[in-house]
Structure 1
């Protein structure tokens, strides 16, 4: 972000000098351009993407059978329930005769067919994953997970989803088949932008007996990248801070993710002791993912609390608590990414999994945390059990360590890949003597200025 702002300032100055354009207008336009770029580019995972691989396995009388595989190559961003949706536009008049491990959300107009009716006749089909428990004869490898895909670091074996399509009216050779266009990935909402399908090196498949490789007849690749700016207009999480050396608790800023507005927009949030809470939770299954947020000053679905707990001679200890304020929604396979300069000396994590992220080469200042399977990998819906917590122990680096000026607090926090709003640094819980020391410096400066003015006056 600092680099971007610097570039904006340079560009603005040169534009004013050369063209005499309004400084305010230039600054506004350039700041918008910079904001979009930095938000779309993930500095913590610069090469992260979702790749869709389309492998034509065999020819049929009027088309082909293809295996479509979705690989999540993002380090910490995963696809949670209700799962992915993949859509595209056919290049010709193709139809989907059958699907295995997935289904189209709409059949479309198949009235021109008699007898054998295709699974989907839409020119722009949307495909979704099947759920666990699907009959075995409707499954293929890596299908039927309800559209949920793990991030690459959390579980690379579950960072893949696949399905099979039998495509008709498509051509029966490499020369007659056309690549689909306009790929769109929703996971589960917007945020991903997909590039065009490109021909790639044919994929090799291992036969069931493990003794022979076969090769796809054709392979296409589609790359999709994520932008939080496109995914949502408002933040989805915030950070609060506290410490053992200061009684002040720095809460999330008011209206961080929105404001309570039940007068003009009823149902914006609900109080935990409201008599309507029980009835609001008894809803139809199809609306399970519609947000029902607990009323707070910050109105964020997720709050991350960082508490500097203890100071030892050679170590210091932090407690991290993640609270879910959404009723009727659980976060499965959640993860937390935190930046702090002392993570190179992280010694012990007590009840989370941990992996270092090293986006800047040898600098190890970013940690990824996620839940332990069957213990706290499910962040329950809002309520008394809607939180997970852990403690971490860090060794003191004598060249860096200090409790002064908010150094002990994180620089950035991400929940499920979204950047959480931090309190402004000037309100961090400082050491008790830090404010006094600053006050003395201020008084000294004022006294110096006053004396200088008196001397000048006497001259």
Structure 2
């Protein structure tokens, strides 16, 4: 009984530690701990019944951008405010403005929803950082395009700092769910420096809203997976089966497209009419829109080489701002990279094990939709870190891979390609270990 008691305690502790390893719904990202989207609302002038404000969204996330069809911003007015006019953006609905005669507001809804204007908007309707179709670059990849702005003239709102009330219940879709926004907080008014640098002005009033991202809230299933191979083993470890869903033509017909189908073009065209932005993926065992393959290609005396291939299985999406984030301890000794842009990410300064990668402009920055051209690839040359370098126990494979800011599902470590010199190899999956532990636990009672 003493053995059973000790084993029971050990088992409970083990199960607790394992449960801590599962992803949570919290928005904290260990590779981008300070990443967020900050909405700055600057009241720049007062009007007879309200104010004119410039609203700017700053994307301070290192590698998570907002892609087409772009952002959608909403809030709830604190009083009975209306929007008289806008520049650089527009609301999706006008609402009931029947009580106004003559000069009718742009929007009378209690909870307006705003979208960006499209490229090519007439110049007299634009302001700085507007009119990009809601697309915002990430701070690490494209800082010059990491902001989006619009101007709004608000009526029935109060005309002083003491009578204006900040909006509530901010929501941000970019382009779908995933972001959670905190309350608006009044901060020190923003200061502006004139173009010649000789004069400083400031906003009448400023408040900020911080929005953070959670992959768990953004989607019920993963959006990408990782497969592995190596020169020293013939085994190709595929993405785990049903990573992003399972083929089930009985209950969900048309959930994927067979690339060999003679009706491929018509199926894709028909699906686009029903839901333009939902993924339409090629039929695979993993059913993911994106697969990243890591291949340990060659071994030299002082260096080793890796080939990375990104494959797009989505027939409905061209990824125009794609990026990869890869975590591996040997990135501290990266010697050369071919055909991708590279930037080290050091969220903890003293550890250089994370790389951000994206395509070269006009060459492979556009990851085409599923098909013969739907892939991008590069090779990395690493210098061997002699004390730690090894091909054993899966050390040569990445610890974590993100695609467009979403964590990709890795194969189980016990399935990684192993060195052929190993005489024996016992594959014990997590499920088998858990069943064995539970069986022994119940045997003790």
Q: Same fold (TM over 0.5)?
A: yes
Matches within 5 A, 1:270-419: 270-282=257-269, 287-419=275-407
Distance verdict in 2 for CA 1:39–1:90, change over 3 Å: closer
Contact 1:67/1:165 (<8 A) preserved: yes
TM-superposed CA distance for 1:60, in Å, is 1.0
1:224 alignment partner in structure 2:
211
Residue in 1 that maps onto 2:40: 53
Cα distance in structure 2, aligned partners of 1:385 and 1:406: 31
3-state DSSP class of the match of 1:264?
Answer: coil
1:409-451 per-residue CA deviation (whole Å, 9 max, x = no partner) reads 00111111111000011111111112x1558xxxxxxxxxxxx
Q: Separation in 2 of the partners of 1:276 and 1:67?
A: 50
CA displacement at 1:213 relative to structure 2: 2.1
Alpha carbons of structure 1 residues 305 and 35: separation in structure 2 relative to 1, 3 Å? closer
- Measured after TM superposition, the shift of residue 149 of structure 1 is 0.7
Q: Match of 1:234, SS?
A: coil
Give runs of aligned pairs for residues 43-442 of structure 1, distance below 5 A: 43-208=30-195, 210-282=197-269, 287-434=275-422, 436=423
| Whole-angstrom CA distance in 2 between matches of 1:401 and 1:34 | 26
Q: Is the 8 A contact 2:76 2:169 kept in 1?
A: yes
Q: Supply the distance in 2 between the matched residues of 1:285 and 1:68 (Cα, whole angstroms).
A: 34
Number of the residue aligned with 2:432: none
Q: Give the SS at the match of 2:169.
A: strand
CA 166–33 in structure 1, closer or farther in 2 if over 3 Å, else same: farther
- d(CA) in 1 for partners of 2:161, 2:19: 45
The answer to which of 205-214 and 409-418 deviates more is 205-214
Whole-angstrom CA distance in 2 between matches of 1:39 and 1:249: 34
Q: Is residue 71–residue 172 contact of structure 2 (8 Å, CA) maintained in 1?
A: yes
Instruction: Decide whether the 8 Å contact of 1:288 with 1:329 is kept in 2.
Output: no
Change (3 A) 1:94 1:34: farther
Are the aligned partners of 2:76 and 2:110 in contact in 1 as well (CA < 8 Å)? yes
Q: How big is the shift at 1:38?
A: 7.0
- Alignment length (residue pairs): 418
Listed as ranges, the gaps of 5+ residues in structure 2 are 1-7, 427-445
Offset of 1:230 from its aligned partner?
1.1
Partner SS state of residue 150, structure 1: coil
Is 1:42 matched with 2:25? no
Q: Counterparts of 1:39 and 1:411 in 2: how far apart (Å)?
A: 21
Structure 1 pair 36/347, CA: closer, same or farther in 2 (3 Å)?
A: closer
Structure with bigger helix share is: 1
The aligned counterpart of 2:440 is none
Q: CA deviation at 1:287?
A: 3.9
Distance 1:33 1:224 in 2: 25
CA separation in 1, counterparts of 2:58 and 2:148?
Answer: 7
Q: Is the 8 A contact 1:196 1:222 kept in 2?
A: yes
- SS of corresponding position for 1:379: coil
Structure 1 alignment gaps of length 5 or more: 1-11, 15-22, 440-459
* 3-state SS, counterpart of residue 421 of structure 2: helix
Distance 1:110 1:31, change over 3 A: farther
Asked if the contact 1:83/1:147 (under 8 Å) is kept, the reply is: yes
| CA distance, structure 1, for counterparts of residue 381 and residue 316 of structure 2 | 34
Q: Give the structure 2 partner of residue 444 of structure 1.
A: none
The answer to whether the 8 A contact 2:344-2:355 is kept is: yes
Shift in Å at residue 203 of structure 1?
A: 0.5
Please give the alpha-carbon distance, in whole angstroms, between the structure 2 residues aligned to 1:304 and 1:415: 8
Counterpart position of 1:9: none
How big is the shift at 1:273? 1.8
- 1:375-417, Cα deviation, whole Å (9 max, x unpaired): 1111111111111111110000110111111111001111111
- Please tell me whether the aligned partners of residues 204 and 214 of structure 1 are also in contact (alpha carbons under 8 angstroms): yes
> Which stretch shows the higher mean deviation, 352-361 or 272-281?
272-281
Give the TM-score taking structure 2 as reference length: 0.90
